[in-house]
Amino acid sequence: MKDFIKVMKALSEPNRVKIVKMLQQKLMCVCEMQAALGITQPSVSKHLKILEDAGLVDSKKDGLWVNYDLTNGAVSPYAAALLGNLRHWLEQDREIGELVEELPNIRRENICKK
């Protein structure tokens, strides 16, 4: 029950859902997400922690960066199922559409390391 609730709660927040939808397109670091979502860096980090804790997202350090990706769902069957559904869900959503369209223009080289 607790694990189930964790996954549901994690996906009950628009910015977190957007993160999942973005990660379907490509690996991303925190600052890229921050730029895409237009919220502060600590806020992104907290959302990512919640998603990671629910078994929806994985992180791997790459030097100074931390790359986030969707999990394969091995940890939580609930996460696995929802990630599967979210592959096609919200594809028609206007807000998500605009976000994904902008993704190719958001590259860490242009954002960080100023």
Partner DNA sequence: TCACTATATTCTGTTTGAGTAATATATGCC
Partner DNA sequence: GGCATATATTACTCAAACAGAATATAGTGA
- Taking CB under 7 A as the rule, does residue 2 contact DNA? no
Give the three-state DSSP class for 57.
strand
- Taking CB under 7 A as the rule, does residue 43 contact DNA? yes
Q: Are strands 65-70 and 57-62 parallel, antiparallel or unpaired?
A: antiparallel
Give the interface segment with DNA, choosing from 56-64, 73-81, 82-90, 92-100 (CB under 7 A). 56-64
CB of 5 to its own copies, least distance (A): 6
Among 12, 88, 92, 101, binds DNA (CB under 7 A): 12
Q: Is 40 left (phi over 0), alpha (psi -120 to 50) or beta?
A: beta
